[in-house]
Amino acid sequence: MNNEMLHFKSCSKCTTGTIEHNFDAHGNYLQCLNCGFMRDVPDGTTSKTVKRMLAAWHKEMHSNEPAESEAIA
Ligand SMILES: [Zn+2]
């Protein structure tokens, strides 16, 4: 059973990456195919909810970021 879904240009972190919504033994997770951004999400999370979460994280990550350079390893 493989129900992965793709959300194009939806990454909270890099904004242009494709988010893969996937399931494995640990449960549901989201992963950006571009920058490697990854978050666990509750089982049964719908694409609608994923979009809302990504938008919220995007706000979080980009609101109090003075310059996007030094924090990245
Ligand atoms: Zn990304």
Q: Rounded to the nearest whole angstrom, what is the distance from the C-alpha of residue 19 to the centroid of ligand 1?
A: 7
Of residues 8, 40, 48, 10, the one with CA closest to residue 24: 40
17 vs 49: CA distance, rounded Å: 18
Question: What is residue 12's predicted lDDT score, i.e. its pLDDT?
Answer: 97
Judged against a pLDDT cut of 90, whether residue 68 lies above it is answered with no
Judged against a pLDDT cut of 80, whether residue 64 lies above it is answered with no
Q: Rounded to the nearest whole angstrom, what is the distance from the C-alpha of residue 36 to the centroid of ligand 1?
A: 6
Protein residues placing their CB within 5 Å of the ion ligand 1:
11, 13-14, 17, 32, 34-35, 37
Judged against a pLDDT cut of 60, whether residue 72 lies above it is answered with no
Q: Rounded to the nearest whole angstrom, what is the distance from the C-alpha of residue 73 to the centroid of ligand 1?
A: 15
pLDDT tens for 15-53 read: 999 999 998 888 999 999 999 999 999 999 999 999 999
Question: What is residue 54's predicted lDDT score, i.e. its pLDDT?
Answer: 97
DSSP state of 9: T
Question: What is residue 1's predicted lDDT score, i.e. its pLDDT?
Answer: 45
